[in-house]
Structure 1
Amino acid sequence: MGKSVCVIAEFRGGDLRRVSYEVASEGKRIADALGSDLCAVALGSGIAEKAAELGRYGVKKVYIVDDPALENYLAESYVPIIADIIRQCDPAAVLLSASVDGKDLAARLSARLDVGLVQDCTEILVEDGKIRVKKPIFAGKCFAWNEWIEGAMPLISCRPNVMQCLTLSEDQRAEVERVDIPVPETRSRFKSMDLDTSGRVGLSGAEIIVSGGRGMKEAQNFAMLEDLAKLLGAAVGASRAAVDAGWRPHADQVGQTGKVVNPNVYIAVGISGAIQHLAGMGTSKYIVAINKDPDAPIFSKADYGITEDLFKFVPAFTEEVRKLKSTCS
């Protein structure tokens, strides 16, 4: 059996994030193809029981460092600890999520371990024992395939909400091994995290997103998108034009200078489809475009297009969804 494949788990608020399950599932698939086992690394505070849950996704052993000082991600403390564990494990490949923290961690690990990194991957193949990865380039207009030279350890960050999350066994628990590595002194301190407490669905992990653009005309008109999103259990996003106009906060921006999302359904309302916006949502499973301009670029990317005045279509569509939900309830 070859070297283990290693995944880096991500915790927030003491709980494993969904992206950790996605990366573990992908890691298991790669480990099977290489004829090796799957292990994981997890840092946090009071995480031993939660870390064992990774066994449901094929992880055999989780190496943890459990310390109150590691409750929240801080590069100065996380990077040297994880790098030390990876050196000791000497894995065949390392996978982690291309989340905000994951991208930061991956870049620093690449420099510290002197290994090649490919960020934000959307597909991983194993061919003749070699790992190849696919990632979007040029704002998502095309894709590049990357591979490593013989003997090099691949370091790969996976785009969230792209990889399949597959449970192998609900009862399976991973072996948890505590690693005795001291937490280094740092020059910075974690003070607080400003999370959205409005109760709305977050953009990053949303399965359905309803986004509005310049065609919404003013901030008040986003209320109709909020109504539709509430019925669909969706998140509300916005184009850069809508954010620049002050209609929505920057946290809602989807695009090259905002958030990169990958929902099952992306509904673009009054969005023309500039390349910067497409870079942030172009890998969505299904794209629905609503725009009165039949020549809008968004239609070239859409799976379903509605050429109609959004102020007529969205309220009518929302009412139909409401009727369907009341019938099914």
Structure 2
Amino acid sequence: MPFLKQRRYNMRLPNGYGSVYKLSGKRRNPWAVSITTSFTEEGKQVREMLGYFPTKPAALQALAEYHQNPYDIDAAKSTLSEIYEKWYDLTINKNTGESTIKNTKASYKQLMPLHNIPIKELKVSQMQSVLNNCKNGYQSQRKIKQLLNKLYEYCVDNDILKDNPTQRLRIVAKSNETARKRDRISDDTIKRIWDISDTPAAQLALMLIYSGVRVGELLDLKKEDVHLKERYFEVKASKTQSGIRTVPIAEKVYPFWKHFVESSACSYAVYTTQGKHIIYDNFAKHYWKPLMEKVKADNVIHETRHTCITLLTLANVNPTIIKNIVGHKSAMSLTERVYTHIDIKPLIDAINKI
């Protein structure tokens, strides 16, 4: 019986499933995939290109993955800039802190080389290149990565893309804050800061140390929320719900608070030398870093908060009062949260012990 050569047949795809076909000529990705997205009134298929691939198996795999997890093809053609505008309009509102808005816009500006690239075509290597070329330090690179992550999460949530590749991005700048154990600012360093307390940088540092607020809470504080006569201010923009609180003003830094609030020409309690709102990067670069160089110290900004907590503890202040001052209500026991209501006077008395 003669040997019969077996013929190979291409499997026919189901109707409406999509098409995979090879384009003519020499191309890097010759295999095209199209899908049916709708029908005309006459019943004819309206097709959209899903993409182009180097091999037929890769094209078939892409088509199968699309049907397993469909996404909006037209939206996937949107550029990074168009996605940013949609995300921004949905996310940023009147309750968003000014510092957050400015940091978001600054990070978006750093992404300028990617603005006009369709989000679906954006490569990890292109995003990584932006991070590598950002010379503003760890915090700036971290915020750029965070913004990209938020944009991709928006795309996944809205069926524009099927996955988020930003987890593969690396922050190449070194972080002073992650490279060291958090510590309090020494008494000697605090004394040296007091020695130059006629400067805005020193005054702001001391206002942080003697209040325990996060730097963002101070920078975003509005004048209307500072009650000088009553010696307290209200934190209404915080990174946590428990951070919304009333904070006492210590007598030893009261003159600094009075000067800033009464001389501010903008809506914020503290301001730049140009009379404008201070954002975090500006504060770190133009206030904190030069101050640390001047007092010959290497503390990071967040250690002002840790220092306040330590000083209050050493002064034997009740732990519940400390948690109220610094906004650690989530660390309170159930009894502390439910049954303990503390007026402002005990808080003022406590902060004046340090």
Higher strand share: 1
Q: Is the structural similarity TM-score above 0.5?
A: no
Shorter-normalised TM range: under 0.3
TM, length-normalised to structure 2: 0.22
Higher helix share: 2
TM, length-normalised to structure 1: 0.23
